[in-house]
């Protein structure tokens, strides 16, 4: 059965780690992807002792560190920019290893103006191959978010994954409106289904997205990873998260055995 967690972008962007763990435990949500650059400050500048302390705090909590959420991307026309993002990803992989995080999320973010589409998809894929190979040595997965104009279109995203061609490069389904074709996500889901390692969810009250179908497709392939609420901040976050959890439970297929 899929598990429920949150992405700290944006509902928890201003929470420190103590608040994240306390609030999620209180509402009964037991997973979190920590987004880089937010108030919890779980970043690559942490010392060895500070990393050990973060890991200790998760080890002592019912809330699991589901992953680290970076914004590293590899589509730039300037090779130096791509190289910096690759090396920064590698530093984040080491942070994930030290914290006990199972994965690091990265992303494509569109195609530079005037760039050749297929060449850029190949460039992104080869960068992912490099970071995926590096991360495998640390026992950390690379999870590629379905993201960015053009690159989030599932046929293009599938080509990126094919060009990456590495067993340690996985997909992060992002629940984009562009997934939906004639009311269904099944056609775009099928080619990357075996690679999906985490799922980002938008507001579940949005009836334009076939949430029940998505959860059914995940259940049919035995998905047991996290489905993570990536929703706006709220002045009453605990109440919002309780409602989100209730909707999430209602959408789970009966066979999931909740």
- Domain locations along the chain: 3-256
Q: Which numeric CATH code is attached to 3-256?
A: 3.20.20.150
Distance from C-alpha of 50 to C-alpha of 226, rounded to nearest angstrom: 26
**Global pTM exceeds 0.75:** yes
Which tens digits make up the pLDDT trace of 50-99?
Answer: 999 999 999 999 999 999 999 999 999 999 999 999 999 999 999 999 99
b/e per residue 188-210 (b: at least 16 CB within 10 A): bbebbbebbbbbbbbebeeeebb
Which tens digits make up the pLDDT trace of 174-189?
Answer: 999 999 999 999 999 9
Which tens digits make up the pLDDT trace of 167-220?
Answer: 999 999 999 999 999 999 999 999 999 999 999 999 999 999 999 999 999 999
């Amino acid at each position: 059965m899929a598990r429920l967690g949150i992405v700290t972008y944006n509902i928890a962007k201003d929470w420190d780690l103590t608040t994240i763990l306390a609030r999620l435990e209180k509402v009964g949500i037991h997973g979190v992807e920590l987004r880089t650059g937010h108030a919890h400050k779980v970043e690559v500048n942490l010392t060895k002792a500070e990393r050990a302390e973060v890991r200790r705090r998760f080890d002592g909590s019912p809330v699991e560190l589901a992953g680290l959420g970076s914004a590293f991307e590899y589509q730039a026309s300037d090779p130096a920019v791509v190289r910096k993002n690759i090396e920064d990803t590698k530093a984040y992989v080491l942070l994930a290893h030290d914290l006990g995080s199972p994965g690091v999320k990265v992303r494509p973010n569109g195609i530079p103006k005037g760039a050749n589409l297929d060449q850029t998809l190949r460039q992104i894929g080869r960068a992912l191959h490099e970071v995926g190979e590096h991360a495998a040595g640390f026992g950390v997965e690379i999870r590629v978010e379905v993201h960015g104009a053009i690159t989030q279109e599932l046929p293009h995203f599938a080509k990126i994954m094919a060009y990456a061609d590495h067993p340690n490069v996985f997909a992060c389904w992002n629940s984009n409106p562009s997934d939906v074709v004639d009311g269904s996500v099944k056609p775009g889901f099928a080619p990357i289904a075996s690679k999906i390692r985490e799922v980002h969810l938008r507001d579940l009250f949005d009836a334009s997205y076939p949430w029940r179908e998505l959860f059914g497709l995940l259940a049919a392939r035995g998905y047991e990873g996290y489905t993570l609420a990536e929703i706006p901040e709220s002045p009453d976050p605990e109440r919002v998260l309780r409602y989100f959890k209730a909707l999430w439970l209602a959408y789970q297929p009966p066979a999931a055995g909740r």
